[in-house]
Amino acid sequence: MHIFIKKRDFEYFVKSYEVKVIFAKIMKGVSVKSDKFTLTVRYECFVNGTFFGFEQNFDFKHDFQNPEQTIFYSCFNLDEQLELTAYSANPNGGKDIKIQIHEELTNKIVKTILEEFQIEGIPICFAFAT
C-alpha cells in the first residue's frame, strides 16, 4: 500500500517517525515537446509495512523525433551507474526505436533528483521501479 502526501507533510513525517532511508524512483517519463521531456519522480520511505511518499515532476531538454510516443526506462549497470533509455514508437510500424540518453544528461538527472530533496542525515537511494 502506498500513501501519498504533500512534500511539506512528507518532510514532517520523515522527521517525526525517525525515517532512516528515502527512496527516489523514476516512475515515468513523458516527452511533452520535441525538445523537452518530463520525468515523474516518487520519493518514498517505508514505515511499518506501508510506503509513504510524494511525487514531483522534473523537466529536462532533449531532442526527440517522435515525442508523443516515447517511453522511458531506467536501470543500474554493473558499474552501479544509472542508465536511462527511451523507446519511441516507430512511425513506419515495427520495432520501437531505441534512444540512448547521453551519460552527461543521465548524470544531470540523477544530481537534480538527489539534490531536490535534502533532509539532514537521511540518505536518499536512487531506485527504479519495475
Partner 1 sequence: MHIFIKKEDFEYFLRRKKVDTVFVYSVFRIMNSNKNFTLAVFYECLVEGKFFTFGQEFAFDYDFSSENLKNIEIKSVFIEERLLLYIENKMTNKQIRDYFPNELSSKVESTILNFIQIDGVRVCFSIKRKG
Residues that bind partner 1 (CB under 8 A): 1-9, 12-13, 16-17, 47-50, 54-55
Q: Provide the minimum distance between the beta carbon of 36 and partner 1 in the complex, in angstroms, as a whole number.
A: 18
Q: Which is nearer to partner 1, 17 or 102 (CB)?
A: 17
CB of residue 86 to partner 1, shortest distance in Å:
24
State in angstroms the smallest separation of the CB of 6 from partner 1: 5
Angle, CA of 117, 39 and 66, to the nearest 5°: 165
Give the integer Cα–Cα distance in Å for 51 and 43: 10
Considering beta carbons, is residue 13 or 87 the nearer one to partner 1? Answer: 13
Least separation in angstroms between CB 99 and partner 1: 27
Pairing of strands 2-4, 124-128: unpaired
How many angstroms separate the CA atoms of 54 and 25, rounded? 11
Contacts of 67 by beta carbon, 8 Å cutoff, 6+ apart: 31, 32, 33, 34, 37, 88
Cα radius of gyration (the chain)? 16
Which CB, 56 or 106, lies closer to partner 1?
A: 56
Kindly tell me which of 27 and 75 has the beta carbon lying closer to partner 1.
27
